[in-house]
Amino acid sequence: MKLMKSLLAATAIIALAVGAAQAKQLIYCSEASPKHFDPAMATGGNDFDASARTIYNRLVEFKHGETAIEPGLADSWEISADGLEYTFHLHPGTKFHTTDYFTPTRDLNADDVVFSFERQFKADNPFNAYLADSQYEYYEAMAMPSYIKEVVKVDDLTVKIVLNSPNSPMLANLGMDFASIVSKEYADKLQAEGKAADFAAKPIGTGPFQYVDYQLDSVIRYAAFPDYFKGKVALDDLIFAITPDTTARTQRLLAGECDIMSYPNPTDIASLKDNPDLVVLDQAGLNIGYMSYNTTVAPTDDVEVRKALSMAINKPALVEALFGAGNAEPAKNLIPPTMWSYNAATPEQEYNPEKAKEILAAKGVTEIELWASDRARSYNPSFARSAEIIQQDWAAVGVKATINTVEWTQYRIDGAKADRPGAFQIGWGGDNGDPDNFFAVLFGAAAIGTQNYSIWNNAEFEDLIKQGVLETDPAKRAEIYTKAQEVMTREEPAFLMAHSTIYMPMSKKVIGYTMDPLAMHRFDNVDVAE
Amino acid sequence: MLRYIINRLALVIPTLIGITICSFGFVRLIPGDPILALSGERGVSAERYAALVTKYGFDRPIWEQYFRYIGQVIQGDFGDSLATHRPVIEEFFKLFPATVELALFALVFAIVLGIPAGIFAAVKRGSWLDQGLMGTALVGYSMPIFWWGLLLIIFFSGYLGWTPVSGRIGLQFFFKPVTGFMLIDSLIAGKPDGFVSALRHLILPTIVLGTIPLAVIARQTRSAMLEVMGEDYVRTAKAKGLSGRRVIGLHALRNALIPVVTTIGLQIGVLMGGAILTETIFSWPGIGRWLVDSIYKRDYAVVQNGLLIVAVIVMLVNLVVDLLYAFINPRIRVQKS
């Protein structure tokens, strides 16, 4: 009897131990609280990590670690010869999450896809303004209202997106977070119950993880979705431990309170790499730090002055001093080398202070305004520091730069003004891996007043970026954007500074994490060692 | 006494108006545009920008915006956060218990250590103990909270591994909040391990937040004690042959504590201010961090209404302290009335 009891006890302990070992949990120390869980209305990377990449899927998805597209909720698609109709065939039997607040009665179908888009552009859609201040910033920012004419249900598993004009980046746009597919059935239910606001607070998707709980500003909990259409993921539980302070985030990782963390301090990278319990992954970021010259205001309205000012800057020394050795690559094109259509033939920026001094003296340039902001960005960890270094380089060629430091939000307003003088430091992180997302968004004439801080309107460049959007052949598009880079090198609307490296430190027990060029944090392919 | 209470309550109205002007004005003094801040890195088109300016009423004269705000507050409408779209009042009460829990611990920590330290320093006036304690208090008072917090985290959590780095409770504990107070909720959920974990998570934030009030209370207690110990009645007590402990405990301390109680009341405001930094360092999900985040986001609704609610609470606490004080100290109510 005693032996029997001991055996039973031992079995129970083993069962418990096995049970505990089977529950695979990953704790991610994230950098900020999500605004909510509706990716169509979000703008921040942390919002998307917490919703779009965990809870939802899109018709097409970005491949892990790449910017290439692969099937998502759509198994396949066709594009009409005129480039105006995109027909998607949905994966049959795709389930929505079942939670304690919603039990779906049907699988995903074309109604959900139509609803997911129409709520973003049709004012009469009941969910267009389901929150008092509903805004679909990304849908608008990606110029979708001008491109998408209608989204049509062909049959339950076929949906057609009709465009007003051809748009080559469209597929990449559909892989972006704002294009996440939500449940119409859930929206209808909430609408009927008068609880529409819950749509952003208690999300229902088809994604790899389902929402469990969010303690405001503290912890988000997810559980693996057992009926995920791509098969249940390896993890059982995913926890976002929201830790805004970078030092605290690093200490939590070191103390084992997190398994993986976002955005480490560049100065901590070396010591984190030396830690035997950690692995630090890195990847060239899909980003660019640069300094826009106002091409419409003297003295930087003169291309020779712009070129001379750039020539006076010791770019490799600047980049090393700013980011630390090996943490960034000096830029010679607007797009990073990892992006298709990168023009490897672009010559390195000439560093020739003597020649610069001569030109600037001849042009009578003795003073310039140099803009800096107070916020650290991944593409520039300190605008103030880079401004000081550039100021010294310019002083050496006889140009006195006055550093104008402005608070971040006001900075961008001032910078976008057409009469803003001088050189304005700024940068960009790509949204979808398409070159158009850099060239048109940052230097297109349509972006004057918003993102085109050079107030640059070059007819040749404009023509090229318009061709780039209309052209569907990838090889021809690459050729077009290669030429666009040549125009930029010739015209120097901006001093292109650096492409920074992105780091992701994690415990050695984390298996399979892939660095993402679009700076997304995805955990559907991650496992943890027993 | 009644007149004193009425007078004191009458002061509440101008104070409240002052608070609304400050909370409304301060957020507008912060450079930066709320709409651009909320639209993220991408910016926003000119048409969209204009539409949002009109929608939020930012194109109206400032006085009109103020009266609209006051009108809403009077109706109990604290608006929705521009960033999260959730009602400000709902977010506030979700986060407030975390701040109260931390502030209470910090206050108890400051009182329990500050008063004895002040008494010892006064009794041993001029000794190395006095100089050591007051020197430490001065250092504690001068210490930047941010630096102090990070130092403690790196040493106790990182180097020694004795305390958790941040958060309110170990992530393995998951239960629905009932009161919002983690210590109570863990017990309600029947998780004594969770209670211990929550207690451990309180150690460093309590020390960091409680350091300045501790220094202030210790210094105030010392000077009050020194003053009282020079009084005739204390000398008389000594002359009567009472033991030193009785003289200090029964005669000196009771009277010396009157100004100390006032100082403790004033620490509520200090704790609320300190909570902003402490919560940020320790990822403590309270209203301090919430307000800081909202300032960065230029979330006008949260900043102006959150500040207003906090200010009203601090004001009410001070009002209650004042009224209680009048009850305790007859001289005050006589003077005032």
pLDDT at B330: 65
Is pLDDT at A447 greater than 50 in this prediction? Answer: yes
> Which residues of chain B make contact with A413, given a CB cutoff of 8 A?
33, 36
Q: What is the pLDDT of residue A138?
A: 82
Q: Confidence band (pLDDT; 50, 70, 90) for A18?
A: very low
Compute the nearest-CA separation of A445 from chain B (Å). 13
A8 has pLDDT over 50: no
CB-CB neighbors (< 8 A) of A216 in chain B = 91, 94-95, 285
Average pLDDT on B203-210 reads 94
Q: What's the pLDDT score for residue A267?
A: 79
Q: Do A257 and B41 touch (CB under 8 A)?
A: no
Q: Is B269 exposed, middle or buried (0-12, 13-18, 19+ CB in 10 A)?
A: middle
Tell me phi and psi for residue A161, to 5 degrees: -105, 120
pTM score = 0.83
Ranges of beta strands (E only) in A248-318 are 260-261, 278-284, 287-293
| Vertex A257 angle, CA A252 and A258, to 5° | 80
Measure B151 CA to nearest chain A CA, in Å. Answer: 10
Q: Do B42 and A251 touch (CB under 8 A)?
A: no
DSSP class of A104: -
Q: What average pLDDT does the segment B312-327 reach?
A: 79
B37 with B86: CB under 8 angstroms?
A: no
Q: Which residues does residue A291 pair with via DSSP β-bridges, in sequence order?
A: A425, A495
Mutate to test the interface with B, among A131, A216, A259 (most CBs of B within 10 A): A216
Mean pLDDT check: name the lowest of A360-364, A446-450, A456-460.
A446-450
Residue A17 has pLDDT above 50, yes or no: no
| Average pLDDT score over residue span B76-103 | 88
A44 CA: distance to closest CA in chain B (Å): 7
User: Using omega within 30 degrees of 0 as the cis cutoff, is the peptide bond preceding A505 cis?
Assistant: no
* A348 Cβ neighbours under 8 A, 6+ residues apart: A330, A332
Average pLDDT of the residues in B80-94 = 86
Question: Are A257 and B83 in contact (CB < 8 Å)?
Answer: no
pLDDT exceeds cutoff 70 at A10:
no
Distance from CA of B265 to the nearest CA of A (A): 29
Distance CA A86, CA A161 (A): 5
Q: How far is B100 from chain A (nearest CA, A)?
A: 16
What Å distances lie between residue A500 and A325, A378, A402, CA to CA?
11, 7, 26
Average pLDDT over chain B, rounded to whole? 85
Among the partner residues A217, A257, A449, nearest to B289 by beta-carbon distance:
A217
| Beta carbons of A247 and B166 less than 8 Å apart | no
Q: pLDDT tens, A56-115?
A: 999 999 999 888 899 999 999 999 999 999 999 999 999 999 999 999 999 999 999 999
Closest chain A residue to B94, measured at CA: A216
Q: What is the pLDDT of residue A294?
A: 97
Q: How far apart are CA A305 and CA A243, in angstroms?
A: 45
Contacts of B50 in chain A (CB under 8 A): none
CA distance A337 to A9: 61
Give the residue-averaged pLDDT of B314-337.
70
- The predicted-structure confidence for B157-205, as pLDDT tens digits, reads as follows 888 889 998 889 998 888 888 899 999 999 999 999 999 999 999 999 9
The answer to which of A39-53, A364-378, B37-51, B299-313 has the lowest mean pLDDT is B37-51
Q: Per mean pLDDT, which range of A126-140, A181-195, A317-331, A494-508 is the poorest?
A: A126-140
Which residues contact residue B136 at a Cβ distance below 8 angstroms, ignoring those fewer than 6 apart?
A: B215
Contact call for A251 and B154, based on CB within 8 A: yes
Q: Nearest Cβ partner of A413 from B36, B83, B167?
A: B36
Over chain A, what is the mean pLDDT?
A: 90
